[in-house]
Amino acid sequence: MKPNPRRLDAGIYPYRFDITTRFADLDPNRHLNNVRLMEYYQEARVMFHAALHDEFAALAARDGRTLVAHQSIDYLGEVGHPGKVTVGVGVLRVGTSSFTLGLGMFQEGRCTGIAATVIVHSDNAGPSPLPGSLREILKKKLLPEDAR
pLDDT band at 119 (very low <50, low <70, confident <90, very high): very high
Domains: count for the chain: 1
- Evaluate whether residue 34 is within a structural domain: yes
DSSP string, 80-142: -SSSEEEEEEEEEEE-SSEEEEEEEEEETTEEEEEEEEEEEEEETTEE-PPPHHHHHHHHTTB
- Evaluate whether residue 1 is within a structural domain: no
Residue 58 has pLDDT above 60, yes or no: no
- Evaluate whether residue 4 is within a structural domain: no
15's enclosing H/E stretch is strand 15-20
Structural domain that includes position 68: 9-142
- Evaluate whether residue 118 is within a structural domain: yes
Whole-number pLDDT of residue 128: 92
61-96: pLDDT as tens digits: 556 788 999 999 999 999 999 999 999 999 999 999
CATH of residue 19's domain is 3.10.129.10
Whole-number pLDDT of residue 52: 87
Global confidence as pTM: 0.92
